[in-house]
């Protein structure tokens, strides 16, 4: 006979535990203490097994019957409901431990171990704590869908922080991709939001764009009286026009000075594609001089605090301020705009310039196979660029007087 709620409520404890059967293997196990537990006996592969469904009254009779029905369906499908129950509990436990915040903190820790600048990590943490964690930080990352992610980003846009919203979408995408690579998510909901946000107004990084101004800048750098490593960093940035972060994170094992080439791995590039930087003879000489200073360690430009970390992201811009250039006149990132502008004026093929700037390729597959695209042409271009910088710098220097003391 099937159980009733009345029979369950009025069941009294006895000297020994006893069972009240409901059918289909389901029963209520009444203990001597008065506690009542839902159980289900079943057979799987000729073994007698028992499932635990919880405690009455937290689990009602209707709840217990529903769980019995699900277990019977699994048995009909040839699945052990006890084993499935254990898997479900494990998944729930793992999901609870892998929230968006858990992944964010783990990713930040990984970035710190890889030598990312503390200032950059602090900005990233601020963005997450200010705009993401309060809304989705406690959510299992695998459960977050595009509409939920969009709502987070739209809250930022409502404050007219359009650039921040764009950056948060990009940062969130990196966290989702990291979760996917570590088996804790299956898709990137932020990736589906490209085009859903307000496009921020583009503001160009301050840069010197005239030959005369560039010549003056190169002379100023040549006379820099601060740390020699900072001076060499400024010179290399002008010669290679990589992103400042790529230069700061450069490692000695990425360079082949005999072949005059620097190979930057994909994980260090903004577009997550490997990049080749041909080195002009002037750049090789600078690197040889730098090697005598820092070649014993991992990084070209280690932090003054710890050789395990890279130069601060503020060092380059601070050096430019020390040379008398305001943030409205020149920035570390501005060397890229300077090179792009003048190389185009010199008549170089725009495709060579864009490839050397490592600007994104709309076709990601094409980009993967074109790491070395136009490499011989770019090698010639980079040497001409270095010679041109030398020429501009020399034009403003006083001529040497023969026979002068």
Return the pLDDT at 286. 96
Residue 83 near residue 74, CB atoms below 8 Å: no
Between CA 20 and CA 27 the distance in angstroms is 5
Ordered by where they begin, the domains of the chain are: 5-96 (3.30.160.390), 100-193 (1.10.150.130), 211-395 (1.10.443.10)
SS3 state of residue 76: helix
369 belongs to the catalytic site: yes
Query: Residue 264: phi, psi to the nearest 5?
Result: -95, 125
Name the catalytic one among 336, 337, 355, 378: 336
Between CA 93 and CA 90 the distance in angstroms is 5
270 belongs to the catalytic site: yes
243 belongs to the catalytic site: yes
Residue 385 near residue 239, CB atoms below 8 Å: yes
Residue identified by tokens 């730098």 is 290
Name the catalytic one among 73, 322, 369, 397: 369
Tens digits of pLDDT across the chain (405 residues): 688 889 898 889 999 999 999 988 999 999 999 999 999 999 998 899 999 999 999 999 999 999 999 999 999 989 998 898 888 877 666 555 689 999 999 999 998 887 776 767 888 999 999 999 999 999 999 999 999 999 999 999 998 888 889 899 999 999 999 999 888 899 999 988 878 887 766 556 789 999 999 999 999 999 999 999 999 999 999 999 999 999 999 999 999 999 999 999 888 887 668 889 999 999 999 999 999 999 999 999 998 888 888 898 899 999 999 999 998 999 999 999 999 999 999 999 999 999 999 876 544 444 444 566 789 999 999 999 999 999 999 986 655 444 333
Name the catalytic one among 9, 130, 194, 270: 270
**Each residue of 222-261: b (16+ CB within 10 Å) or e?**
eebeeeebbbbbbbbbbbbbbbbbbbbbbebeebeeeebb
336 belongs to the catalytic site: yes
Between CA 103 and CA 117 the distance in angstroms is 19
Return the pLDDT at 267. 80
Name the catalytic one among 359, 366, 391, 397: 359
Helix (H) or strand (E) holding 262, with range, is strand 261-264
Helix (H) or strand (E) holding 51, with range, is strand 47-56
Name the catalytic one among 333, 337, 355, 378: 333
Name the catalytic one among 169, 184, 231, 243: 243
- pTM for the complete prediction? 0.55
**Each residue of 81-106: b (16+ CB within 10 Å) or e?**
bbeebeeeeeeeeeeeebbbbbbbeb
Return the pLDDT at 391. 95
178 belongs to the catalytic site: no
Which of 230, 246, 187 has its CA nearest to residue 318? 230
Token representation of residue 229: 């490593």
């Amino acid at each position: 006979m099937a159980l009733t709620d009345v029979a369950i409520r009025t069941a009294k404890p006895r000297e020994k535990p006893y069972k009240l059967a409901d059918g289909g293997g389901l029963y209520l196990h009444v203990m001597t203490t008065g506690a009542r537990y839902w159980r289900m006996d079943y057979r799987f592969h000729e073994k007698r097994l028992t499932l635990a469904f919880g405690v009455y009254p937290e689990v009602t009779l209707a709840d217990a019957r529903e769980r019995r029905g699900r277990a019977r369906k699994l048995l009909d499908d040839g699945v052990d409901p006890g084993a499935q129950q254990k898997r479900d509990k494990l998944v729930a436990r793992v999901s609870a431990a892998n929230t968006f915040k858990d992944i964010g903190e783990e990713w930040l820790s990984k970035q710190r171990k890889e030598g990312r600048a503390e200032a950059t990590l602090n900005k990233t943490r601020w963005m997450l704590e200010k705009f993401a964690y309060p809304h989705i930080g406690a959510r299992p990352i695998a459960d977050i869908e595009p509409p939920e992610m969009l709502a987070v980003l739209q809250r930022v846009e409502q404050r007219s922080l359009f650039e921040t919203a764009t950056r948060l979408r990009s940062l969130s995408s990196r966290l989702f991709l990291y979760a996917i690579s570590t088996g804790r998510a299956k898709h990137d909901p932020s990736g589906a939001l490209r085009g859903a946000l307000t496009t921020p107004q583009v503001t160009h990084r301050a840069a010197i764009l005239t030959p005369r101004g560039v010549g003056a800048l190169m002379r100023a750098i040549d006379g820099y009286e601060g740390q020699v490593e900072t001076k060499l960093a400024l010179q290399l940035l002008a010669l290679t026009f990589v992103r400042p972060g790529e230069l700061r994170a450069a490692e000695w094992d990425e360079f082949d000075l005999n072949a005059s080439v620097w190979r930057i791995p994909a994980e260090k590039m903004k577009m997550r594609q490997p990049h080749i930087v041909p080195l002009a003879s002037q750049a090789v000489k600078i690197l040889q001089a730098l090697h005598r200073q820092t070649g014993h360690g991992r990084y070209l430009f280690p932090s003054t605090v710890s050789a395990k970390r890279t130069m601060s992201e503020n060092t380059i811009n601070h050096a430019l301020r020390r040379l008398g250039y305001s943030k409205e006149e020149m920035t570390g990132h501005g060397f890229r705009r300077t090179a792009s502008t003048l190389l185009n004026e010199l008549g170089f093929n725009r495709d060579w310039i864009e490839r050397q700037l490592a600007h994104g390729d709309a076709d990601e597959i094409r980009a993967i196979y074109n790491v070395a695209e136009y490499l011989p042409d770019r090698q010639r271009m980079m040497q001409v660029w270095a010679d041109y910088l030398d020429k501009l710098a020399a034009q403003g220097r006083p001529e040497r007087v023969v026979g002068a003391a």
